[in-house]
Amino acid sequence: MKRDRRVKFADRGRTVILERERITQEGPVRRIVRRWLRPVLMVGGVFIAITLIIPFVRADILEYYAGSCLGTWENVVHAVGKPQFETGTEGSLHSENSARFSGGDAQIFCGSFSGDDPGDKVFKKARVSFVWSFAPVGASVAPANSAESGTIDEEIISSTSSDAVASTSTSLPPEVSPTTVSVPEEPPPGEPPPAPAASEPPPPSSPSSSPTTWLRYFVPIARADVVTSTSALLSTSTSITHEAASSTSGDTVLPSSTLDIPFDLSVVASSAQSFVSEGPKEGVVQVNFSLDGKIWNALGSVHQDTWHDASYELPLNSWEELKELQINIQGLPGASAMGDIFLDGIVIEVTYETQSFVEQLLVIHPASPPPSVNEEGPRISDPASKHFCDIEPFSQSIRPGESVNYTVVLRPSGMSLGYLTQLGELSPGITASIASADMPTTARFPTSTKPLTLIVSSAQDVASSSLNFIVLYSETQGDGTALPNFCQYNLIIE
């Protein structure tokens, strides 16, 4: 849309066009794109820069193995060094290739763990694990004479059941009449057994035959209960006897010496063997660690059903502590019933972090801050000081094992005043000294200055860094007061 704006002037009535504006209406999509395109591009650029330039950290693992072992286990030398077998192949371990624990309170001590040189890797954490196997008592030996065991168990169960039935059958209440339960006599040898007599129902008792018939309305008769109990007993005895019942009367039938057991004895035998092989659910051995061989700390107890996953994190913080580490495995009470343990080796897994090449290039070592003023110690600066000093050049670079010279320029408040120069605290591997300097009087070193030479050296083992140091400069005033001040310089170790 175009819009013309006309302005009229009073001079001679002429009309001129001073401005022509073109107003274009933008759509909502274009307005949004123009508003958000630049921030999105900026955020994307920052993300790409972070991805490509900012260093990343990689976590890796180093393994260390025992360099020496001793103790009361058998063949402790087999636990030294890298394990011959991997975790999960414990079935190949035996007394010929592994240290053996046969129970009791026997112990094994392993230390001097060694492996790859960590170099400049950053220590993060350590974990101890074991390549071993547990051989429970009777696990590899098949149960002997299982048939005989089943026969013996069957005889014991048969005898027990016979005694229980006989005892139950003869334990009747005193109110039971002797004629209620009758036992037929066995015929003499060689004679056929007599035919069972037909059972006759007992004659009904008349109300007048008992002088206390009127009590039956108030007191229950015990004989009816006894007959019911006897019938239940006869039914139970008949169901477990090997011979069929030959009579339907209330006569008691004695059980035979052979019972028909309604379950499989082999299941009982196998269950008993399995229970013995598992053993009690208690610790077999205990794992301890020490950093000095004197103070031992427990890591945990190993159980027979958890030895596959036995692994403990060690509270170590540095490679130096790993060098002092000692591991102890000690038998616990009751371990003799568990069987044998075969140990192929102890593995220490150390998780570390390493820097990428880009990070090593971009690493910046923070400069050492100047010493803070300690109210209880000597002061390094006084606001009343009128003297000062500077060091030229302020910063220099050297390699490990090299030296460099600085020039310390003292600017006293009076040439006749006494002064004292001292070196501030230096980092390990850095040495320095101050000597007088013969400098000609120039515009750089006027007569009002006192130049000195500062010599700084670096040892061979100093790491790359940027370091800041100071030179203390105190001046003695006319009244004997010493006013302190200092000047600073920078040293870069490449």
* pLDDT higher than threshold 50 for residue 166: no
Q: Are 421 and 432 in contact, with CB atoms under 8 Å apart? A: no
What does the pLDDT read at residue 119? Answer: 85
Average pLDDT over residues 155-176: 41
Give the pairing type, strands 482-493 and 395-398: parallel
> 146, exposed or middle or buried, with CB in 10 Å at 0-12, 13-18, 19+?
middle
* pLDDT higher than threshold 80 for residue 426: yes
For residues 84 and 94, give the distance between their C-alpha atoms in angstroms, rounded to a whole number.
12
What does the pLDDT read at residue 215? Answer: 45
What does the pLDDT read at residue 108? Answer: 95
Percentage of residues of the chain with pLDDT beyond 90: 22
Mean pLDDT across the chain, nearest whole number?
69
**Neighbouring C-alpha atoms within 13 Å toward the C-beta of 8:** 3
- Which has the higher per-residue pLDDT, 161 or 445? 445
Indicate the pLDDT class of residue 333, thresholds 50, 70 and 90: confident
Structure tokens at 346: 């102890």
CATH, domain 59-139+279-355, list 2.60.120, 3.50.30, 1.20.1050, 1.10.10? 2.60.120
Q: Which of 162-171, 280-289, 313-322, 420-429 has the lowest mean pLDDT?
A: 162-171
Q: Inter-axis angle of helices 265-278 and 146-170, to 10 degrees?
A: 110
How far lies 93's CA from each of 130, 172, 331, 335, in Å?
A: 13, 64, 19, 19
Burial 411-424, CB ≥16 within 10 A → b, else e: bbeeeeeebebeeb
Average pLDDT over residues 317-323: 92
What does the pLDDT read at residue 255? Answer: 42
Average pLDDT over residues 465-488: 87
Indicate the pLDDT class of residue 90, thresholds 50, 70 and 90: low
Q: List pLDDT tens digits, range 169-228.
A: 434 444 444 444 444 455 555 555 555 444 444 544 444 444 444 444 444 544 444 333
Give residue limits of the domains in the chain. Answer: 2-54, 59-139+279-355, 388-493
Give the phi and the psi of residue 162 in degrees, each rounded to 5.
-65, -45
Percentage of residues of the chain with pLDDT beyond 70: 55
Alpha carbon 393 to chain centroid distance? 54
How far lies 204's CA from each of 96, 185, 201, 209, in Å?
A: 88, 28, 9, 10
Q: Is 290 left (phi over 0), alpha (psi -120 to 50) or beta?
A: beta
Q: Inter-axis angle of helices 146-170 and 222-240, to 10 degrees?
A: 160
Alpha carbon 95 to chain centroid distance? 30
**Whose CA is closest to 243, among 234, 233, 252, 253?**
253
Average pLDDT over residues 31-51: 78
Task: Look up the pTM and report it.
Answer: 0.38
SS3 of residue 120 by DSSP: coil
Indicate the pLDDT class of residue 161, thresholds 50, 70 and 90: very low
* pLDDT higher than threshold 70 for residue 46: yes
Q: Which of 34-43, 112-121, 204-213, 393-402 has the lowest mean pLDDT?
A: 204-213
What does the pLDDT read at residue 74? Answer: 92
Q: Are 473 and 486 in contact, with CB atoms under 8 Å apart? A: yes
Indicate the pLDDT class of residue 34, thresholds 50, 70 and 90: confident
Indicate the pLDDT class of residue 348, thresholds 50, 70 and 90: very high
* pLDDT higher than threshold 70 for residue 18: no
CATH of the domain spanning 388-493: 2.60.40.740
What does the pLDDT read at residue 160? Answer: 41
Indicate the pLDDT class of residue 355, thresholds 50, 70 and 90: low
Q: Are 409 and 448 in contact, with CB atoms under 8 Å apart? A: no
- Which has the higher per-residue pLDDT, 224 or 343? 343
Q: List pLDDT tens digits, range 255-313.
A: 443 333 333 333 333 333 333 333 344 678 999 999 988 899 999 888 877 788 889 99
* pLDDT higher than threshold 60 for residue 323: yes
For residues 383 and 112, give the distance between their C-alpha atoms in angstroms, rounded to a whole number.
58
Q: Are 382 and 475 in contact, with CB atoms under 8 Å apart? A: no
Q: Are 437 and 453 in contact, with CB atoms under 8 Å apart? A: yes
**Paired residues of 474 in beta bridges:** 420, 484
**Whose CA is closest to 251, among 227, 228, 234, 232?**
234
Q: List pLDDT tens digits, range 58-72.
A: 568 899 999 999 999
Q: List pLDDT tens digits, range 110-130.
A: 999 998 888 888 899 999 999
For residues 385 and 383, give the distance between their C-alpha atoms in angstroms, rounded to a whole number.
5
Give the pairing type, strands 15-22 and 465-476: unpaired
Q: List pLDDT tens digits, range 281-294.
A: 467 899 999 998 88
> Look-up: residue for tokens 């001129």?
16
What does the pLDDT read at residue 99? Answer: 93
> Look-up: residue for tokens 């890591």?
299
